[in-house]
Structure 1
Amino acid sequence: MNDAFDPALRAELDAGLAALGLDASLAPRLLAYLALLGRWNKTYNLTAIRDPRAMVALHLLDSLAMHPFVRGIGSLADLGSGAGLPGIPLAIAVPTLQVTLVESNGKKARFLREAVRTLGLDNARVAESRAETLDRPGAFNAITARAMATLADLLAAGAHLLRPGGRLLAMKGALPEEEIAALPPGWRVEATRRLAVPGLDAERHLLVVGPQPH
């Protein structure tokens, strides 16, 4: 995927990073991740999106749009990380964030370990496990996922991983009113943020879900 380093692609990424308030110095590492993903995608079906330009908006910038919400939180578990989204772009953009990429599929977990090694991501590790069975209770300040699971399902799978007072940072498209109404007892939406993703003409929201105050 040499076109990952095509000047037009780099320019598009640079413009997107600037729009998100991120430094252009992140671009080479992000493009190296994209190139690695492209190579592995030829053998393993890691993502249905094959076009590098589409990957910039739909994978990189979409993941990075939530960067302001993970700064200063310390530790994050990316549940069902798949190809490493949003965990790897966030680990690149926020070096102080400790990211655990939780993925049960063996092929995807192998790709994630290779990506962490190749990119030199000292602040990322891979847990080859289902979120539900990951034996790290209370280990994280936040959990997140780009998967299509409902808010209730994400909490059922990963709430045990949260420290007391920890948060679910759920990436959604349109505001999921039915999912919000179906939150399990003891949880509430603390904040709803509409995200502007450069190059993406679709609704994106980040929901911050936390425990009900006693």
Structure 2
Amino acid sequence: MKARRGLSRASWAARLAAHGLAPDLADRLARYLELLGQWGGAVDLFGGADPKRLLAGLVRDALAALPYLGETDVLIDIGSGNGFPAVPLLLARPGARGVLLEPRERRWAFLKEAVRELGLAAEVRRERAADHAGGGYDVATVRGLAAEAWLPQAPRLVTAGGCVLWWTSAANAATLAAEVPEGRVLPLPLSDPAHGVLAVWRRCST
């Protein structure tokens, strides 16, 4: 595998700590970001973007959902790609468990290695949401996918009283609010307005 040049773990940890993260979490996130840099030369994990933008953008945007993931919740991440937002959330909630769905082979392989290397309580499956037979998850996370890729599956995947967290545009969040069959959708701002919003769909508990 051809390594992609990037910041070292120590450099990432220092940057993350400077943004107020606890040293232990900063170090674990730094190892994840280092892995992204190492795999980026062989697998398109960034869509051509500078991986250094991860610090200001993807990490903070992922951790914005932390209040909605309980200490022992079980999470399903739909279309996991490069691991955002699920990997940072599971690193920040070590008692939580996760199932990461990623149909693309190379990204699936990266995620398998990341879960192993980081010691996450997570399983990586080479599946789409429509193919996944499980259900009863406390939280579903979705980033980079259109609503039609996950919305039809959400009622069977997420338990009553659970929530779906969707990183998307403000317009998409408004459309979702008009279309969900139950509950309510709350759009929350992210670290930069250009990044869109975090749409929180809380399912009814009955």
Q: Which residue of 1 aligns with 2:162?
A: 166
Q: Which amino acid in structure 2 is aligned with residue 23 of structure 1?
A: A
Q: 1:192–1:205: 8 Å Cα contact kept in structure 2?
A: yes
Distance 2:80 2:165 in 1: 14
What displacement does 1:56 show?
1.4
Query: 2 CA distance for matches of 1:156 and 1:202?
Result: 27
| Change in 2 beyond 3 A, CA 1:46/1:203 | closer
User: What is the CA distance between 1:207 and its match in structure 2?
Assistant: 2.3
- Could you tell me how far apart the structure 2 residues matched to 1:94 and 1:74 are? 9
Give the superposition deviation at 1:99.
Answer: 1.4
For 2:18, the aligned partner's letter is A
Residue 15 to residue 69, structure 1, CA distance change in 2 (3 Å): farther
Question: What SS does the aligned partner of 2:56 have?
Answer: helix
Deviation at 1:178, TM superposition (A): 2.7
Unaligned runs of 5+ in 2: none
Q: 1:158 to 1:132 in 2, by over 3 A?
A: farther
Tell me the alpha carbon deviations over residues 112-151 of structure 1, each in whole angstroms, 9 at most, x when there is no partner. Answer: 0100111121x2221221111101132x11111112312x
Percentage of pairs with the same residue:
31
C-alpha RMSD of matched pairs (Å): 2.4
Give the partner amino acid of 1:3. L
Q: Work out whether residues 171 and 205 of structure 1, in 8 Å CA contact, stay in contact via their aligned partners in 2.
A: yes
**What is the TM-score with the length of structure 1 in the denominator?**
0.81
Distance 1:110 1:149, change over 3 A: same
Structure 2 matches for 1:195-210, cutoff 5 A? 195=190, 197=191, 200=192, 202=194, 204-210=196-202
Q: CA deviation at 1:213?
A: 6.9
Gaps of 5+ in 1: none
Q: How many equivalent pairs are there?
A: 201
Q: Which runs of 4+ in 1 moved over 6 A?
A: none
The reply to whether residue 179 of structure 1 matches residue 171 of structure 2 is no
